[in-house]
Amino acid sequence: MEDLVNIFIKGVFIDNMIFAYFLGMCSYLAVSKTVDTAVGLGAAVIFVLGVTVPINYLLENYLLKEGSLSWLGSGYENLDLSYLSLIMFIAVIASMVQLVEMIIEKFSPSLYSSLGIFLPLIAVNCSILGGALFMQERQYSTIVEATSFALGSGVGWFLAIVAIAAIREKIRYSNVPGPLRGLGITFIITGLMGLGFMCFMGIKI
Amino acid sequence: MKDSFFSKKNRRLITDPFDGQNPITVQVLGICSALAITVQLQQALIMALSVVVVMICGNMIVSLLRNVIPSRIRIIVQLVVVSALVVLVDLVLKAFLPDMSEKLSVFVGLIVSNCIIMGRLEAFALGNKLWPSFLDGLGNAIGYGWILLAVAFFREFLGSGKIFGYQIVPDGWYEAGGGFYLNNNLMILPPMALIVVGLIIWVQRSRNRELIEDN
């Protein structure tokens, strides 16, 4: 249990998707104009990460990794399909996103109308694929650990986008030099926030 | 509609992404990789070339398939096309430039979800013929590449006094040689990439005033 909490906290602060790895920057910059939309997109990212990483974990361990096909019986033990992992991961992510979009559309139209436009964006949000690739690289030992890592990184992404959206709402009342307005100042603020988040680096929990 | 190969419209497809429609500084696409691998020029160059290849091939393939792809599942189809290309690039890098592929690590894989590629496929290749799609891919990939190289130039030069791995700042300037010069180690840290891009945007927009946003 302690391990799970540690992995979660590590995902939120130390290995923050945005400030430590710059994953999911595009939608982070494009959809952070107001806090409301930022909360919507952030929630969608947590949700999709939480669904796709465990599925990809199962794929990785029962299909792709060297020796993972041994449940098919002898003869399959030495098969290494890991060169297929990128295609498999992205296919899972894209189909899950489309599936989730259809389900939400059917059962909760109000959620769909507030989240709807963000869902297709998420398929190409690098943080989702990044989550799958980091899961593969770090070799979590159980599916529960992988899920807790996914939720942690999702929450970290959520925090980051809500924070920048709040700052951008405030900055509207400041006198930013013309050419720096909008995108430019957002980049620089993110950089400064990243420098702040670097103080978490190297902390061992 | 008959267009000659290098009609004005087609030429704009290549030249626009350099400045007014730059994928990174104006369209806000493909930021993730632009920031993560710009510590050294060499890495940035390899990354830019990989994106050029994937982008052009992806744009052409999707443009050929555009009438066959059902719109409901187009995202999956596009992703599969792109990821097949990325796997190819990845394997080629692993075979011929193993050190480089080690350094770029997950970021070659992340070209798949590089929004600049998906963005162009969605916005352009799905609705245009083969030749314009090729030009659009080339233009955008180069527009992406030059920002990448510019950021990497500043970070490598100020951060480690080198360009393409060659020492530029003379040894005598450093403290060890009796000088005063210190590398700015801050430039090597990831957040500085963001700030450098921010400054590039600042310069670009003060030259090209049409791009200025209202807060």
Decide if pLDDT at A63 tops 60: yes
Q: Which of A21, A181, A191 sits opposite B214 (nearest CB)?
A: A181
A15-24, A67-76, B44-53, B197-206: which range is least confident on average? Answer: A67-76
What HEC string does B170-201 produce? CHHHEHHHCCCECCCHHHHCHHHHHHHHHHHH
- Alpha helices in A60-177, H assignment, sequence order: 85-107, 109-115, 118-123, 126-138, 143-171
DSSP assignment letter at B39: S
Measured between CB atoms, does B121 come within 8 Å of chain A? no
Q: Which of B31, B76, B192 sits opposite A191 (nearest CB)?
A: B192
**If DSSP codes are grouped into helix, strand and coil, which group holds residue B45?**
helix
ipTM score of complex: 0.78
How many other β-carbons are positioned within 10 Å of the β-carbon of residue B53?
A: 17
Phi, psi torsion values for B25, nearest 5 degrees: -85, -20
- Average of pLDDT values for A89-112? 80
Give the pairing of strands B162-163 and B166-167: antiparallel
Decide if pLDDT at A154 tops 90: yes
Q: What is the pLDDT of residue A114?
A: 66
Instruction: Determine contact, residues B110/A129, Cβ cutoff 8 Å.
Output: yes
Closest residue on chain A to B71 (Cα):
A98
Instruction: Determine contact, residues B20/B110, Cβ cutoff 8 Å.
Output: no
Decide if pLDDT at A166 tops 60: yes
Q: What is the pLDDT of residue B43?
A: 84
CA angle at B148 for the pair A182 and A46, rounded to the nearest 5°: 60
Encode pLDDT of B95-133 as tens digits. 888 888 877 766 777 777 777 787 788 778 888 888 888
Beta-carbon separation of B212 and A179 below 8 A: yes
Sequential pLDDT tens for chain B (215 residues): 455 666 777 777 777 777 777 777 777 777 777 777 787 888 888 888 888 898 899 888 988 888 888 877 777 788 888 888 888 888 888 888 888 887 776 677 777 777 778 778 877 888 888 888 888 888 888 888 888 888 888 888 888 777 877 777 777 777 776 677 777 878 888 888 888 888 888 888 888 777 777 65
Q: Which of B29, B195, B212 sits opposite A188 (nearest CB)?
A: B195
Global confidence as pTM: 0.81
Give the domain range for residue A151.
Answer: 2-200
Measured between CB atoms, does A192 come within 8 Å of chain B? yes
Task: Provide the domain count of chain A.
Answer: 1
Residue A81 lies in a domain: yes
Q: What is the pLDDT of residue A157?
A: 92
What HEC string does B79-108 produce? HHHHHHHHHHHHHHHHHHCHHHHHHHCHHH
Residue A8 lies in a domain: yes
Alpha carbon distance A116, B148 (integer Å): 32
Residue A205 lies in a domain: no
The alpha-carbon radius of gyration of chain B (Å, integer) is 19
How many other β-carbons are positioned within 10 Å of the β-carbon of residue B102?
A: 10
Residue A63 lies in a domain: yes
Q: What is the pLDDT of residue B3?
A: 58
Q: Which of residues 6-65 of A touch B (CB under 8 A)?
A: 19-27, 29-30
Q: Residue A197, Cα to own-chain centre: how many angstroms?
A: 17
- Average of pLDDT values for A23-43? 82
- In the block, residue with structure tokens 């999911």: A24
Beta-carbon separation of B90 and A86 below 8 A: yes
- Average of pLDDT values for A125-140? 83
Measured between CB atoms, does A179 come within 8 Å of chain B? yes
A91-100, A195-204, B100-109: which range is least confident on average? Answer: B100-109
Alpha carbon distance B183, B152 (integer Å): 15
Strands (E), chain B: 162-163, 166-167
Report the percentage of chain A scoring pLDDT > 90: 11
Q: Give chain A's mean pLDDT.
A: 82
The residue ranking higher by pLDDT, A114 or A65, is A65
